[in-house]
Structure 1
Amino acid sequence: MKESLNHTDILLKAKSKAKWNTIISILSTLLLIGPVMFLLSLTYYSIGDRANKQILTLETIYSLTDPTMTINDNKVRSSISPFFGLTIDAPIKQQYNSTEYNVGSHEVTYRFGNVISQKQNLNIPKETSATFPQTIINEDLDDSTNGLDKDSTVNAFVVFKNSIEYGKVSQFLNEYNAKSIWNAVETGKEKQALSDKTRGITLIGFPSNNRAPENSGFIDKSTPVQLFYEQLAFISSNSDMVDELIWPISLEIKERRNYIKDNGLKLYGATLSIKVKDLDAMIEDEKISGMKVITPEMR
């Protein structure tokens, strides 16, 4: 009987040992999977400089399409997680009266290089019709200056009565003591964009202080116009990354590049920093066909 009990104890101990060995093996495997998957994810987003290209794509979309806001390149953060995850947190800034303000952030999460979520977090008033990229249609251009302090300065997006050659726009703006913040380029698609109530296509342009982001591959000393052409080329050659971010909105870059190449660089409109009384003069002189006042509370 005693011998039988000893055999039973031995079997129970053996089973217990086997159970714990299995548990330890599973835990060891799980502990190894995390670092291995992180390493694989890091490698995946390093190949072809994929992570930086994703960041640059977001920055470039803002530069080319948003008439009021840009990405603060110096403060963009990114993190890679196991199972091929990448999160980009890009601070957004906006210029008002020669001062740049942080007005929120744009967060994008990728899995296997594909966008699985994105959100624009703003600490300024946001219209219910707002889209990303920002679209402007004719309904948005019916603002008036009624009720505004005539000596106050506003940011206003205006559509010129007639397009202006880029080289001549400074002279025109000087007549009204206006400063350009963002230039809307004539690309042959503007009437379509402004009349599209579905907001399916954006205007295209570039910031007046257009600067190459760090580690972008763009030429550091490019003029704002030269950089604009480089940005168009970048967007065109990375259309898959762009479409992931902006769907279902369209940029139609290839057609627009061809239009600019054939017709030269002309401005369809601009975001201006301008005193209300000078904006009134611009309206009275019939120099613009529509405008949208953009003066959010800055903090």
Structure 2
Amino acid sequence: MDSYEKLIYKAKKEDLHLSNDGTKKIKRAINSSKWKLILSTLTVILLIVPTCYMLTFGYYAFGTKSTTLMDVASTTLYITEPNTTLEEMEFEMDFSLFSMDLSFEQYKQIGDEFYPSKDYDLHFVLNNLVNNETTSKLEKIYPQYPTQTNQWISHPNQSVEFNSDKEWRMLAGLPEETVVEAYFSLDDLYQVQEVENEMKNVDVTWAAIYTGTEDNMLSSNGEVISPIGYPVQLDQTYWSPFRDSESHEETFLKMLKDLQPYEDLAVEVSSHKNLELEERINYIEKNGFETYGVVVTGPKSEIESLRELDMVRYLKLGEVKLWNWAQ
């Protein structure tokens, strides 16, 4: 090989080496860029997630407060679910990205004792209730979507779907050693105190309040409504809005007004799908408080004796438990 060929060979060899070296550098640069992108993405994600959690906590602490959502849920149930109460310590909150889970248990007084009646699991995204799961522990189920005639408590002008005579026969057939929850529809409008005075030896636990819409269970715009009312007995449960209340009637009216800005949410929480709060608040403010039906609890024999009262029109039997009456 002459010197010219050697020079050409050397040049080709150097070009090949430079080419391989450049390819390696390009590959290293590409791999480095990939890792930088991956690390940058992970860094951003790691920053976004805690930031989103902080925003979530901030929203429920200072925006739509978690306590506000809890208050709306509990207030709604007190006025729409007859003979029920809630315990503060039973409320459980769990926060996730832009959402909150609220779980709690509802109780009913049957005789002298309170028994679990329902479990509620509510899932909120921001302030919107997107899922409402209710697990009943009751033997008898109050209508989930009441119509005009399937109410358990009815106005004197209203008929009912259930057979009240059959309910009285069922009550008569119960053992004497039982306590009973009973829903009474009255023959007229009464002051709650009048009803309490007549129904001795039992606890009147809840009163349905007349709001001008119960004659046919329709609001002014033709929507089916359901009974609303308030607990009659003293309630020292810490969470109860009626705790240390001087007037349950005025507390009830205040609750309706407090609930009005959140009426859409209240309707989603409750099984009663039309509350018509403005119309009903206006009526109560002008006409005062009268009841057309109550829920009572006590010994089977004492409940049975109430059939003799002129004011009693219909009976709907509720929950029944073994004797626990100590009054």
Aligned to 2:136: 122
Aligned to 2:297: 273
* 2:217 counterpart SS class: helix
1:234 aligns with 2:258: yes
Pick the aligned partner of 2:244 from 217, 221, 229. 221
1:7 aligns with 2:22: yes
Q: Residues 274 and 182 (structure 1 numbering): CA distance in 2 closer, same or farther, change over 3 Å?
A: same
Q: What is the Cα deviation at residue 76 of structure 1? A: 0.8
C-alpha RMSD over aligned residues:
3.0
* 1:295 counterpart SS class: strand
Q: Residues 276 and 128 (structure 1 numbering): CA distance in 2 closer, same or farther, change over 3 Å?
A: closer
1:259 aligns with 2:283: yes
Between the aligned partners of 2:210 and 2:136, the Cα distance in structure 1 is: 29
CA contact (8 A) 2:189 2:292 kept: yes
Q: Residues 141 and 86 (structure 1 numbering): CA distance in 2 closer, same or farther, change over 3 Å?
A: farther
Q: What is the Cα deviation at residue 204 of structure 1? A: 1.0
Q: How does 1:132-143 map to 2 (within 5 A)?
A: 136=152, 138-140=160-162, 142=164, 143=167
Between the aligned partners of 1:230 and 1:18, the Cα distance in structure 2 is: 64
Question: Please, what TM-score do these two structures have when normalized by structure 2?
Answer: 0.78
Deviations 1:228-275 (A, max 9, x none): 122122112432432443487111222222222233222211110133
Aligned to 1:107: 121
* 2:23 counterpart SS class: helix
* 1:238 counterpart SS class: helix
For structure 2, the residue ranges without an aligned partner over 5 or more in a row are 1-15, 154-159, 323-327
Deviations 1:207-242 (A, max 9, x none): 1246588689x6963233332122122112432432
Q: Residues 267 and 219 (structure 1 numbering): CA distance in 2 closer, same or farther, change over 3 Å?
A: closer
Q: What is the Cα deviation at residue 293 of structure 1? A: 1.0
Could you list the runs of 4 or more consecutive aligned residues of structure 1 that deviate by over 4 angstroms after TM superposition?
A: 210-216
Q: What is the Cα deviation at residue 171 of structure 1? A: 1.3
CA contact (8 A) 1:67 1:157 kept: no
Q: Residues 136 and 171 (structure 1 numbering): CA distance in 2 closer, same or farther, change over 3 Å?
A: closer
For structure 1, the residue ranges without an aligned partner over 5 or more in a row are none
CA contact (8 A) 1:136 1:203 kept: no
Q: What is the Cα deviation at residue 140 of structure 1? A: 4.2
1:172 aligns with 2:198: yes
Number of paired residues?
290
CA contact (8 A) 1:136 1:202 kept: no
Q: Residues 102 and 180 (structure 1 numbering): CA distance in 2 closer, same or farther, change over 3 Å?
A: same
Pick the aligned partner of 1:86 from 92, 100, 113. 100
CA contact (8 A) 1:59 1:73 kept: no
Q: How does 1:25-174 map to 2 (within 5 A)?
A: 25-48=40-63, 50-82=65-97, 84-125=98-139, 127=141, 129-131=143-145, 136=152, 138-140=160-162, 142=164, 143-144=167-168, 145-150=171-176, 152-174=178-200
Q: Residues 165 and 294 (structure 1 numbering): CA distance in 2 closer, same or farther, change over 3 Å?
A: same
Q: Residues 201 and 180 (structure 1 numbering): CA distance in 2 closer, same or farther, change over 3 Å?
A: same
The answer to which of 69-78 and 50-59 deviates more is 69-78
The answer to which of 94-103 and 56-65 deviates more is 94-103
Between the aligned partners of 2:237 and 2:179, the Cα distance in structure 1 is: 29
Q: What is the Cα deviation at residue 146 of structure 1? A: 4.3
* 1:187 counterpart SS class: coil
Q: Which amino acid aligns with 2:181?
A: N
The answer to which of 179-188 and 288-297 deviates more is 288-297
Between the aligned partners of 1:163 and 1:90, the Cα distance in structure 2 is: 35
CA contact (8 A) 1:162 1:287 kept: yes
* 2:216 counterpart SS class: helix
Q: Residues 75 and 251 (structure 1 numbering): CA distance in 2 closer, same or farther, change over 3 Å?
A: same
Question: Please, what TM-score do these two structures have when normalized by structure 1?
Answer: 0.84
Q: What is the Cα deviation at residue 296 of structure 1? A: 5.3
Aligned to 1:205: 229
CA contact (8 A) 1:193 1:200 kept: yes
CA contact (8 A) 1:184 1:203 kept: yes
- Give identity over the alignment, percent: 22
Deviations 1:147-177 (A, max 9, x none): 2224532000111122221232321111xx2
CA contact (8 A) 1:91 1:106 kept: yes
CA contact (8 A) 1:85 1:110 kept: yes
Q: Residues 266 and 141 (structure 1 numbering): CA distance in 2 closer, same or farther, change over 3 Å?
A: farther
* 2:245 counterpart SS class: coil
